[in-house]
Amino acid sequence: KNQVEQSPQSLIILEGKNCTLQCNYTVSPFSNLRWYKQDTGRGPVSLTIMTFSENTKSNGRYTATLDADTKQSSLHITASQLSDSASYICVVSARTNAGKSTFGDGTTLTVKP
Amino acid sequence: DADVTQTPRNRITKTGKRIMLECSQTKGHDRMYWYRQDPGLGLQLIYYSFDVKDINKGEISDGYSVSRQAQAKFSLSLESAIPNQTALYFCATSGPPKDRGTSSYNEQFFGPGTRLTVL
């Protein structure tokens, strides 16, 4: 069964600090991995997309890494801001006709002043 | 204007009532999806459509039905709502897969969500 597991479930950091969120997956055959940011009560918004041949992708202060051998990804946030407080969702798609996606449960990040 | 819109944004209804949630998009995408999100859990796929007249069941389609009236519109119906269908519902769209090296990807764009409460 395809699964995506994220850790930690929640995280509290002080403004200006860095943090790293983890994503482990068992989706096969692997096609791509996406990180989304979801503000409370809003729809998810795409941060990064990585395919099999890519092992790092940046979007401003967000940097995602992918290790396809160990089936792990991380999302690193540098110099956190209050607006980074949100849920971060890891989504992995399979290389099938439907390109079916499996969503992780998300990591809730709270940035405090 | 938002690319993907959902109506209503909030709805409270009673057990047994029929409910329809609407989704419209101006992105010109062929693919549309309906997801459900429960507190603290990941999004679960209810139904998806890759084109008008194409309807496919997702992980949790029981108790739901959909209609793809046009390329830009995809509606979700609860024929007889029950309390455990209380959740956030998201519509999403995507274009055709894009190639990148030996892999492909298709980015999904989500609507703002509908908060449904069934009493």
**What DSSP string describes B21-60?**
EEEEE-S--SEEEEEEE-TTS--EEEEEEEETTEEEE-TT
Confidence of residue A10 (pLDDT cuts 50, 70, 90): very high
Structure confidence by residue, pLDDT tens digits, B40-60: 788 999 999 999 989 999 989
Which chain B residues have a beta carbon less than 8 Å from that of A42?
Answer: 112-113
Q: Cα(A98)–Cα(A95) distance, rounded to whole angstroms?
A: 8
Q: Is B56–A98 a contact, with Cβ atoms under 8 angstroms apart?
A: yes
Which chain B residues have a beta carbon less than 8 Å from that of A100?
Answer: 45
Task: Tell me what pLDDT residue A73 has.
Answer: 97
Which chain B residues have a beta carbon less than 8 Å from that of A104?
Answer: 42
Query: Which candidate from B48, B97, B113 shows the least CB-CB separation from A43?
Result: B113
Would you call A33 exposed, middle or buried from its count of C-beta atoms within 10 A (0-12, 13-18, 19+)? buried
Q: What percent of chain A has pLDDT over 70?
A: 97
Terminus-to-terminus CA distance in chain A, angstroms?
41
Q: What is the mean pLDDT of chain B?
A: 91
Structure confidence by residue, pLDDT tens digits, A45-75: 999 999 888 899 999 999 999 999 999 999 9
Least confident of A78-82, B77-81, B106-110: B106-110
